[in-house]
Copies of this chain bind each other. A is one copy, B any other.
């Protein structure tokens, strides 16, 4: 792996999942691989799971880790040719090249505006780091993608799957705030590359980009979609077509124990209890959310390991 900004950067997903599960059994076996290597993690937004799991993964590999809440420092400029006499005090060209002087791998979290669809889907921050930093870049959740989460999810499904081809449903659920499409986008991308039967269900108006969904089946009828589901991945996102808007807060879309039947419940967390999903689901044995969170470490570790091996 040369970088991990999108799921396509993984050449062989089943093999990567197998390798991650091996790392989970022996997390410290490659501790010399990261010796004298530094991971610089840049956060334009807050982070809990991603911060902790990625830092732990890097240290499991023997790397040094430096975390920087870059929003506390200064505003970066991303446009070419700008006269920088307003609020931005450093251009991404310099920032990325400079940080690459101190890092063997740079990892970046940068959320979308949810106001400007073209800007967000152009992935300006992530792509600028990839373009100007001459070290590998890892996506810690960008405007439109969360590939480390999707890899952790794939590992988790692999661990709990007992069917040849499981039925996986991605269901939208209500939320009081406008959220990115990134987790949903990456989950769909990932599932499309695995031997699963994927269905997406959401209210009308919540269609994801057709460049993401391609020919995946979409249903506006949650009950119908959940029938025979083995894994139900639940996530809120704001509208892609009516970009960044909340079109529905319909609590009928909340996931209940009754709706789930015996399917496994998945969510990337943080999750709002009794809004997105009722307590009974999260507190049941069918909830995989803690397993998913645990697998974040090994998703990050397999990615960092593969990048380190290609430095």
Interface: A194 (CB within 8 A): no
The answer, among B46, B66, B89, B273, for a CB contact under 8 Å with A73, is B46
Smallest Cβ distance from A285 to chain B, in angstroms?
A: 14
Contacts of A82 in B (CB 8 A): 273-274
The answer, among B94, B283, B293, for a CB contact under 8 Å with A269, is B94
Contacts of A91 in B (CB 8 A): 271, 273
Interface: A2 (CB within 8 A): no
In the complex, the chain B residue whose C-beta lies closest to that of A90 is: B270
The answer, among B59, B77, B98, B269, for a CB contact under 8 Å with A48, is B98
Q: Is the CB of B66 within 8 A of A38?
A: no
Contacts of A97 in B (CB 8 A): 290, 293
With A72-B69, A282-B93, A293-B98 in contact, do A84 and B52 touch (Cβ < 8 Å)? no
Give complex CA distance A59, B48 in Å: 22
Smallest Cβ distance from A86 to chain B, in angstroms?
A: 7
Smallest Cβ distance from A233 to chain B, in angstroms?
A: 16
Q: Is the CB of B36 within 8 A of A28?
A: yes
Which chain A residues numbered 53 to 89 have a C-beta less than 8 Å away from chain B? 53, 55-56, 59-60, 64, 66, 68-70, 72-74, 77, 80-86, 88-89
Smallest Cβ distance from A280 to chain B, in angstroms?
A: 11
Smallest Cβ distance from A55 to chain B, in angstroms?
A: 5
Interface: A201 (CB within 8 A): no
The answer, among B89, B176, B297, for a CB contact under 8 Å with A272, is B89
Give complex CA distance A73, B94 in Å: 28
Give complex CA distance A56, B100 in Å: 12
Interface: A275 (CB within 8 A): yes
Contacts of A272 in B (CB 8 A): 84-85, 88-90
List residues of A whose CB falls within 8 A of some B CB: 27-28, 31, 36, 38, 40, 46-49, 51-53, 55-56, 59-60, 64, 66, 68-70, 72-74, 77, 80-86, 88-91, 93-95, 97-99, 101-103, 176, 269-275, 279, 282-283, 289-290, 293-294, 296-297
Q: What are 14 of the A-B contact pairs (CB < 8 Å)?
A: A28-B36, A31-B36, A38-B59, A47-B73, A48-B68, A52-B103, A55-B66, A81-B274, A82-B274, A83-B273, A83-B275, A90-B271, A90-B272, A98-B269
Please provide the 7 A-B residue pairs with the shortest distance between their CB atoms, ordered closest to farther: A90-B270, A84-B272, A52-B102, A101-B294, A46-B73, A98-B293, A83-B274
